[in-house]
Amino acid sequence: MTTYTIDEVFGITRHLPLNYVEREAVDKKLQKELRAKHHIVIYGSSKQGKTSVRKHCLPDESYILVQCSNKSDMADLHANILKRAGFEITQSSKKSSSGKNKIIASVKTGVKGTLLGFGGSAEASGGAEGETGTTEEITTSPLELDIDDVNDVIAALKSIAFDKLIVLEDFHYLPYETQKDFSIELKAFHEFSAITFIVVGVWLEDNRLIVYNGDLTGRVISVNADHWSNSELHSVITQGGDLLGVNFEETFANQLIGLARESVYVVQEGCRIACLAANITETQQRPVTIGAGLDVDEIVKSIVDQQSARYDSFLTNFADGFQDTDLQMYRWLLYTILSTPIEEIESGLRYRDIRGILSEKHPRKSDLNAGNIIQALQSSASLQVKKNIMPIIIDYDQSSKNLHVVDKGFLIWLQHQDSSELLNDIGVP
CB neighbours of 106 closer than 8 A, spacing ≥ 6?
87, 88, 90, 126, 127, 128, 142, 143
Nearest to 55 by CA among 14, 84, 83: 14
Q: Where are the domains of the chain?
A: 6-11+228-305, 24-224, 308-425
Give the pLDDT of residue 118.
30
What residues does 216 pair with on adjacent strands?
none
Cβ(126)–Cβ(107) under 8 Å?
yes
Nearest to 174 by CA among 82, 83, 77: 77
Low-confidence residues of the chain, pLDDT below 50?
Answer: 113-140
Give the pLDDT of residue 95.
64
Nearest to 22 by CA among 36, 35, 32: 32
Cβ(225)–Cβ(48) under 8 Å?
yes
Q: What is the pLDDT of residues 120-129, one digit of tens each?
A: 333 433 333 3
Q: Report H helices in 59-192.
A: 74-85, 150-159, 176-192
Q: What is the mean pLDDT of the chain?
A: 89
Map residue 331 onto helix, strand or coil. Answer: helix
Written as one letter, the residue type at 275 is C
Written as one letter, the residue type at 137 is E
In this prediction the pTM is 0.87
What residues does 105 pair with on adjacent strands?
89, 143
Measured at the alpha carbon of residue 268, what is the angle toward residues 267 and 272, in degrees to the nearest 5? 115
Give the pLDDT of residue 105.
87
Length of the chain equals: 429
Q: According to CATH, what is the number of the domain 24-224?
A: 3.40.50
Give the pLDDT of residue 122.
39
Pairing of strands 63-67, 165-169: parallel
HSE-CB at 23 with a 13 A cutoff on CA atoms is: 23
HSE-CB at 47 with a 13 A cutoff on CA atoms is: 23
Distance between CA 82 and CA 105 in Å, rounded?
8
Distance between start and end Cα atoms, the chain: 61
Give the pLDDT of residue 139.
41
